[in-house]
Structure 1
Amino acid sequence: MQSCEIAYFSAEFGLDESLPIYSGGLGILAGDHIKAAADLNVTLTGVGIFYGNGYFRQRIDEDGAQQHLYPAVDPEASVYPVRPVRDDNGRPIVIAVPLGGRKVHAKAWSVRLGSVTLYLLSTDVESNGEADRRLTDTLYPGDHDIRICQEMLLGIGGTRLLEALGIRPDVWHMNEGHCAFLTLERIRMLSAEGVPFETALEAVKASTVFTTHTPVPAGHDVFSIDQMDRYFGDYYWQLGTDRERILSLGRADGAFNMTRLAVSTSSRVNGVSKLHGDVTRELFRRWMPHIPKPDVPVDSVTNGIHIGTWLAAGMKELFDRYLQSDWTVRTADPETWRAVRDIPHQELWAAHQQAKASLIAAFGLPLDASGEGPLVIGFARRFATYKRALLIFSDPDRLARLLGDARRPVCLVFSGKAHPADGPGQELIRRIVHLSREERFKGRVHLIENYAMDRAKKLVQGVDVWLNTPTKPMEASGTSGQKAALNGVLNCSVLDGWWVEGYNGRNGWAIESAADADAELQAARDSEALYRLLEEEIVPLYYKRGERKLPMDWVNLMKESICSLAPVFNTHRMVDEYRNRVYIPASARGKRFAADGFEVASRVAAYKQFIRSQWPGVHVRKVDLLADNSSRIGLNKSAFRAEIGLGAIWHKDVRVEAVGSDGRQGIWKARLDPVQQLAKGVYVYEGSSPDVAIDIWKANVNVRVTPVSPDFANEFEMELSAWG
């Protein structure tokens, strides 16, 4: 298989709780990604920031208020050896980054995981002033000036660090938009070698890929144009073009959007689940309104989890005994997991009870740790309002009856942090603390403070049901439920994110949720569906005991959950998918664009500049629908005829299509070919309707002209279309 070297940039990496430089899902995913790359011997270099005080340690006070503590992160305490990066003479490698007219220096730490090295930058360097030494203290600071400095350090500084280390990646993977300034630095480096800006942009774009994780506009980092000018004033000119051209790469809604910059400078963009890819296409349409949503160039690679990190010791011991001896290196093969069905029910249930007892003991929960203990439902994730932690409390009296049934007791275990600047999220935590103290919920509702990887492991391994109730479709992917499923914990979730792909009707429960413009109405419907599932299906099934007091049907669901979900939602499958679908094509593309003195990049740049300059002259002058088969190429179908004015653009440099609605929120397309030249730059195009069952008169048909090139990464790379 073709090999290539990957640079993987992310603002956070969650490797282990002993290195708390992550806040949540994005960092855990990044950590799992590089662990899987190491398992698969992928040549990958990670780049991030060493946060001196990390993400905050959470403490909940008597009133339920979240307190934010920032103890210093001790690299010596990490399970993974963290070492300073030095040159051949043993001196620390220090790079300089321009920040608002001054130079800030950064050193680096390294973490080695097999074939993968993770480099973490820190500005805690003696040559910096005190304020600059504190720039990398905390993750996701609320101060926008510190935030832009961190992102310049990550993108620009990270690129300079790789250059100083002599690392020349074939592919640059941006995990979220925080690191997108790396593309500007790569352009600057090429500009310093005499490569024109537009050529450098195409060369950088060819070898850059971008993964977006955020399905809502508010989740994307945005800086004011004034901020950009203050921090990049002495940097713009070094890129070989003017300020306005650089700002145009990220300008959106009057500000500079880091996601927009990432999209503008990447040849491949992907969401993190199939549904998220669809949501992202709708989100990005505001930047390219002339392109229908199905054509917006966003793909998807569904997230997974690193099995070696999240599997309970007892479960691993069980799998070692019953699965093939090499199962840990064949986790993406469904055949590997079929043997789970042959594990005796009693042994699988005992392994789960062992994990449940470990959970209860670790957090001192006042619960019976035996198999006769209550059904435990876990809800643990970041406390953001859209995750709806309080949905299950929509009808407190109904919930109290469910939890307090002496014959079939149920308890809820919550855990999670809210961002220090997220007041509504912190209020959710306070509310749960207060509810847990109400007489009807005492001993049945518990909140575990300081959610981190060590606590997450206990929870995903030891609860019986993993609850997930986001407002659909705001969950990009979610991976905590995947970790739970691996351990035989059953998911009960809104059909959002990864669960849309994972749920098969036999491996857990789906809260049927139709997105509604009225949030209260949607919440009412979702809570009713949740209560019905708990009362009529989940609780009765858990307490339905067979021989040896085993919940035989429940264990069958556990087996189905593991067999159907483990081989798909793991990072070995995910990284292999990135390697084959994203990295190898981007590597080949990047090398082709850079070869022979950037010949292809130069040609594409010139072509795009010409097309942009001439595009205002492209017009669809006339469109006729010929249902009487009178066209030259109509074959008993509806046919289309369009007169297109192309001006100076060659007719083979555009694609002309009839585009219509398929009646199912999708579109159909029929190619139109040039059949006649009416005048200089004016052509007649004709084509017939596709072989689909459509009412041509109700399909809202129009004709579209799009620039094309065999060198484009996708059909809509220029984000240009002219419509009739």
Structure 2
Amino acid sequence: MTIAYFSAEFGLDESLPIYSGGLGILAGDHVKAANDIGISLMGVGVLYRRGYFQQRIHHDGSQEALYPVMDPNRLPVKPVLNDWGDPLFVGVPVGNRTVFLKVWCAEVGKAKVYLMDSDIDRNSEADRRLTDRLYGGDQNTRICHEIILGIGGVRVLRALGVEPDVWHMNEGHVAFLTLERIREYSAQGIPFDTALEAVRANTVFTTHTPVPAGHDVFSFELLDRYLSDYYWQLGEERAKILGLGRIGEDQFNMTRLAIRTSSRVNGVSKLHAQVSKELFHQWTPQIPAQDIPVTAITNGIHTGTWAAPEMKELFTRFLSPDWESQVADPQIWNRIEDIPDQELWDAHIRAKQRMIERLGLPISQNELTIGFARRFATYKRAALLFADPERLDRIVNHPNYPVCIIYAGKAHPNDYPGQDLIRTIKQVSLMERFKNRIFLVENYDIKIASHLVQGVDVWLNTPLKPMEASGTSGMKAAVNGVLNCSVLDGWWSEAFNGRNGWGIEGAMSGSREERDQADREAVYRLLEEEISPLYYDWDDSGISPGWIAKVKESIRSLAPVYNTNRMVAEYRENFYQPLAERGRKLLANRMEAAARVAAYKRFIRRNWQHVEVQSVELSGPMVQAVIHLGPVWNKDVRVEAVGSNGYGGLWKQQLDYAYEIGRGIHLFQAVYGGTAEEWIRSNANVRVFPVSPEFADDFEMELVAWGRK
């Protein structure tokens, strides 16, 4: 089984800076874990010659974005060669021209990541710049990037003779790959609808973005400009092709395209899956948000990459010599209790001292040090603690419990509010009372992130709930004995157990100012009343037994769960293996099953206009519904009574087929068991939707008929 894993960015190592943050680091860790557990996976992305950007922070706090050109010959990549031993090139249609891409390969053990590069002599000067910058340029550049990623990525694999069993889209940036796969089938004479079913059968989509603004949207005019000569190759009319991603009148959403062309969709934490259901509900309002088919596979980290050398040595001695191969086994991590408190604390102090030296920080290793490092998007609220300088002063300059706070992160060059956050942090750090108490480290990257997650004492995270999809930096901190203090958002909402760190509930109502105030007060209180006193509750040996107990519980409870070995194993069991089998089934016998599913859907869509819930009646213990199905067979639909359970979920009861009342009119019924008052109180109704054992999920067709109220 071979997996093709497409991503706009890959954070494999600091020596290959083709990532901007969490999405790329997650992709890099995904590839590493697949290699570790023996999954045949190949990554597909872009070799950005100027990367994301390097950051310089000036004295006034202004951020300067620098884009030094990278020489691929000095990067840990090799050119991919064709059968004749020459560099491999692929051509990609961009508007009315072809852009040629050179293919490079980064090796991660047995796993390979193929990277496309347009900076070659065969292209015009403008086209050579297309793959310069990650997330750079305007909408024109962005759509070109995504054409290269999706269409170009498929063509790279074909040039290599690869036929993946499963295609995994890591965010919607790469979703054009599904159009290219449809085009391939169309070129073989396969009808569009059949090709779409074949593509959907073995495609997985992982969404990472919990806010509408984070999903790429292009105008139809822009798609026409770059893909008009491509539409006809898909064997279908323009309107139907654009309909795969249509939102509104003339907007094309890449996430919508990804959902419509995938068999499985997942969020990256349990809470994020719920948020995604609400977000995607806007596109299918006839389906309750609770029924939107989005599951959750919570992110993890590649523990071997992020654990400090000092911690690895302890794990090898006290857990198991081969603990890295058993990183998802809770029994291994239960042995954390066998590590003497003093040895665990000494290892942490050594990592902390190394961080202090490498980052050039004028602080003592004995001072409570808090880390806040991530992309400086406004919802992450990096400046949350600065609203009350007097109280912050009392916390960081406490005579008995001094605190240092280290900030690091980049703001996108076009994100001016994010850059204002950097300016604010810098200016606060220069105030006399905050000198050597608050620091801003520039040019945040994998290397600096490693020092911070290994060396600080507390990892602070204050997103505006529920806008943090997952968040993996806190996982990296946890495996290093660093305690999390975080809003209960993303991964922390399911990971916090009351003993392994600190949780901030996160205000969900009120104005932004009121929510900021509530969360700020919670952090202040925790620092003043719990975190600082516990850290400095030293015994005669210079350690805090209570702090070490919390550290051990953090490692024991978090390390075996929030790692990419567990995460990728879940993808394998829940997605990769089932969809590889589904793909084989739908493609067998010259796509007989795919053609059958496509024909069935065409029939249902053509006749769904006739489907109507004519009446719903409660009669004694029974609920009865008269349904007009017209030409649709009664066994091709499911009829359900649905109502609110009062806890944010739904109760559902399937109605069984009774008999045909008249031509195309049928009675469905079930024992309800409740009262008419309960039916009304739960806002219950009856719905009908098409089903098939060959569907990937119940609402695959996005068709539902509800009873009138």
TM-score, normalised via structure 2 length: 0.98
**2:405 maps to what in 1?**
412
Q: Secondary structure at the match of 1:484?
A: helix
Q: Secondary structure at the match of 2:229?
A: coil
Which one-letter code corresponds to 1:189 in the other structure?
E
**1:590 maps to what in 2?**
583
- Please give the alpha-carbon distance, in whole angstroms, between the structure 1 residues aligned to 2:115 and 2:3: 16
**1:221 maps to what in 2?**
216
Which one-letter code corresponds to 2:321 in the other structure?
S
Which one-letter code corresponds to 2:695 in the other structure?
F
Q: For residue 550 of structure 1, report the CA deviation from its aligned partner.
A: 1.2
Q: For residue 691 of structure 1, report the CA deviation from its aligned partner.
A: 9.0
| Alignment partner of 1:95 is 2:78 | no
User: Alignment partner for residue 50 of structure 2, among 53, 56, 72?
Assistant: 53
Q: Secondary structure at the match of 2:448?
A: helix
| Alignment partner of 1:357 is 2:353 | yes
CA contact (8 A) 2:618 2:676 kept: no
- Please give the alpha-carbon distance, in whole angstroms, between the structure 1 residues aligned to 2:409 and 2:85: 42
CA contact (8 A) 1:156 1:185 kept: yes
- Please give the alpha-carbon distance, in whole angstroms, between the structure 2 residues aligned to 1:299 and 1:357: 42
Which one-letter code corresponds to 1:54 in the other structure?
G
**1:172 maps to what in 2?**
167
Which one-letter code corresponds to 2:497 in the other structure?
N
| Correspondences of 1:427-438 after superposition (within 5 Å) | 427-438=420-431
Q: For residue 508 of structure 1, report the CA deviation from its aligned partner.
A: 0.1
| Alignment partner of 1:14 is 2:2 | no
User: Alignment partner for residue 271 of structure 2, among 272, 275, 291?
Assistant: 275
- Please give the alpha-carbon distance, in whole angstroms, between the structure 1 residues aligned to 2:40 and 2:540: 51
- Please give the alpha-carbon distance, in whole angstroms, between the structure 1 residues aligned to 2:466 and 2:92: 39
**1:576 maps to what in 2?**
569
Change (3 A) 1:118 1:696: same
- Please give the alpha-carbon distance, in whole angstroms, between the structure 1 residues aligned to 2:60 and 2:507: 36
Provide the aligned length of Structure 1 versus Structure 2: 706
User: Alignment partner for residue 671 of structure 1, among 654, 660, 663?
Assistant: 654
Q: For residue 194 of structure 1, report the CA deviation from its aligned partner.
A: 0.7
Q: For residues 349-372 of structure 1, what are the alpha-carbon distances to aligned partners after superposition, in whole Å with 9 as ceiling and x for unaligned?
A: 000000110111111111113xxx
- Please give the alpha-carbon distance, in whole angstroms, between the structure 1 residues aligned to 2:528 and 2:614: 63
- Please give the alpha-carbon distance, in whole angstroms, between the structure 1 residues aligned to 2:358 and 2:3: 39
Q: For residue 520 of structure 1, report the CA deviation from its aligned partner.
A: 1.2
- Please give the alpha-carbon distance, in whole angstroms, between the structure 1 residues aligned to 2:156 and 2:213: 31
Q: For residue 120 of structure 1, report the CA deviation from its aligned partner.
A: 0.1
- Please give the alpha-carbon distance, in whole angstroms, between the structure 2 residues aligned to 1:546 and 1:119: 54
* Two-structure CA RMSD over aligned residues (Å): 1.2
Q: For residue 431 of structure 1, report the CA deviation from its aligned partner.
A: 0.5
User: Alignment partner for residue 133 of structure 1, among 125, 128, 133?
Assistant: 128
Q: Secondary structure at the match of 1:103?
A: strand
CA contact (8 A) 1:18 1:77 kept: no
CA contact (8 A) 1:383 1:389 kept: yes
User: Alignment partner for residue 702 of structure 1, among 685, 688, 703?
Assistant: 685
Q: Name structure 1 gaps, 5 residues minimum.
A: 630-638
**1:333 maps to what in 2?**
329
Q: For residue 136 of structure 1, report the CA deviation from its aligned partner.
A: 0.2
Which one-letter code corresponds to 1:600 in the other structure?
A
**1:42 maps to what in 2?**
39
| Correspondences of 1:496-645 after superposition (within 5 Å) | 496-626=489-619, 628-629=620-621, 639-645=622-628
**1:318 maps to what in 2?**
314
- Please give the alpha-carbon distance, in whole angstroms, between the structure 2 residues aligned to 1:623 and 1:694: 15
CA contact (8 A) 2:167 2:202 kept: yes
Which deviates the most, 588-597 or 692-701?
Answer: 692-701
Which deviates the most, 708-717 or 511-520?
Answer: 511-520
Q: For residue 26 of structure 1, report the CA deviation from its aligned partner.
A: 0.2
Q: For residue 665 of structure 1, report the CA deviation from its aligned partner.
A: 1.0
CA contact (8 A) 1:270 1:299 kept: yes
Which deviates the most, 391-400 or 582-591?
Answer: 391-400
Q: For residue 202 of structure 1, report the CA deviation from its aligned partner.
A: 0.2
User: Alignment partner for residue 72 of structure 1, among 69, 74, 83?
Assistant: 69
TM-score, normalised via structure 1 length: 0.96
User: Alignment partner for residue 661 of structure 1, among 644, 647, 666?
Assistant: 644
- Please give the alpha-carbon distance, in whole angstroms, between the structure 2 residues aligned to 1:691 and 1:37: 50
Q: For residues 418-472 of structure 1, what are the alpha-carbon distances to aligned partners after superposition, in whole Å with 9 as ceiling and x for unaligned?
A: 0010000000000011111112211110000000000000000000000000000
CA contact (8 A) 1:42 1:115 kept: no
CA contact (8 A) 1:416 1:451 kept: yes
User: Alignment partner for residue 442 of structure 1, among 435, 438, 445?
Assistant: 435
- Please give the alpha-carbon distance, in whole angstroms, between the structure 2 residues aligned to 1:296 and 1:692: 29
Which one-letter code corresponds to 1:612 in the other structure?
R
Which deviates the most, 660-669 or 110-119?
Answer: 110-119
**1:632 maps to what in 2?**
none
Amino-acid identity (%):
59
| Alignment partner of 1:203 is 2:198 | yes
Which one-letter code corresponds to 2:355 in the other structure?
L
Which one-letter code corresponds to 1:609 in the other structure?
R
- Please give the alpha-carbon distance, in whole angstroms, between the structure 2 residues aligned to 1:694 and 1:32: 53
| Alignment partner of 1:723 is 2:709 | no
Q: For residue 88 of structure 1, report the CA deviation from its aligned partner.
A: 2.2
CA contact (8 A) 1:668 1:690 kept: no
Q: For residue 32 of structure 1, report the CA deviation from its aligned partner.
A: 0.2
Q: Secondary structure at the match of 1:126?
A: coil
- Please give the alpha-carbon distance, in whole angstroms, between the structure 2 residues aligned to 1:311 and 1:578: 23
**1:635 maps to what in 2?**
none
Which one-letter code corresponds to 2:267 in the other structure?
G
Q: For residues 169-216 of structure 1, what are the alpha-carbon distances to aligned partners after superposition, in whole Å with 9 as ceiling and x for unaligned?
A: 000000000000000000000000011000000000001010000000
Which one-letter code corresponds to 1:191 in the other structure?
S
| Alignment partner of 1:105 is 2:100 | yes
Which one-letter code corresponds to 1:599 in the other structure?
E
Q: For residues 104-150 of structure 1, what are the alpha-carbon distances to aligned partners after superposition, in whole Å with 9 as ceiling and x for unaligned?
A: 10011001122311000000121100000110000001311111111
User: Alignment partner for residue 232 of structure 1, among 201, 209, 227?
Assistant: 227
Q: For residue 42 of structure 1, report the CA deviation from its aligned partner.
A: 0.6
- Please give the alpha-carbon distance, in whole angstroms, between the structure 1 residues aligned to 2:566 and 2:94: 40
Q: For residue 695 of structure 1, report the CA deviation from its aligned partner.
A: 3.0
- Please give the alpha-carbon distance, in whole angstroms, between the structure 1 residues aligned to 2:567 and 2:177: 24
CA contact (8 A) 1:273 1:498 kept: yes
Q: For residue 517 of structure 1, report the CA deviation from its aligned partner.
A: 4.4
Change (3 A) 1:298 1:209: same
**2:384 maps to what in 1?**
391
Q: Secondary structure at the match of 2:282?
A: helix
- Please give the alpha-carbon distance, in whole angstroms, between the structure 1 residues aligned to 2:523 and 2:297: 29
- Please give the alpha-carbon distance, in whole angstroms, between the structure 1 residues aligned to 2:79 and 2:234: 31
User: Alignment partner for residue 400 of structure 1, among 377, 393, 396?
Assistant: 393
- Please give the alpha-carbon distance, in whole angstroms, between the structure 2 residues aligned to 1:343 and 1:479: 25
Q: Name structure 2 gaps, 5 residues minimum.
A: none
Q: For residue 692 of structure 1, report the CA deviation from its aligned partner.
A: 12
Q: For residue 62 of structure 1, report the CA deviation from its aligned partner.
A: 1.6
Q: For residue 624 of structure 1, report the CA deviation from its aligned partner.
A: 0.8
Which one-letter code corresponds to 1:285 in the other structure?
H
Q: For residue 408 of structure 1, report the CA deviation from its aligned partner.
A: 1.2
Change (3 A) 1:161 1:616: same
**1:368 maps to what in 2?**
364
Q: For residue 243 of structure 1, report the CA deviation from its aligned partner.
A: 0.3
Q: For residues 88-115 of structure 1, what are the alpha-carbon distances to aligned partners after superposition, in whole Å with 9 as ceiling and x for unaligned?
A: 2211111100001101100110011223
Which one-letter code corresponds to 1:676 in the other structure?
Y
- Please give the alpha-carbon distance, in whole angstroms, between the structure 2 residues aligned to 1:116 and 1:259: 27
- Please give the alpha-carbon distance, in whole angstroms, between the structure 1 residues aligned to 2:51 and 2:609: 51
- Please give the alpha-carbon distance, in whole angstroms, between the structure 2 residues aligned to 1:142 and 1:690: 61
Q: Secondary structure at the match of 1:210?
A: strand
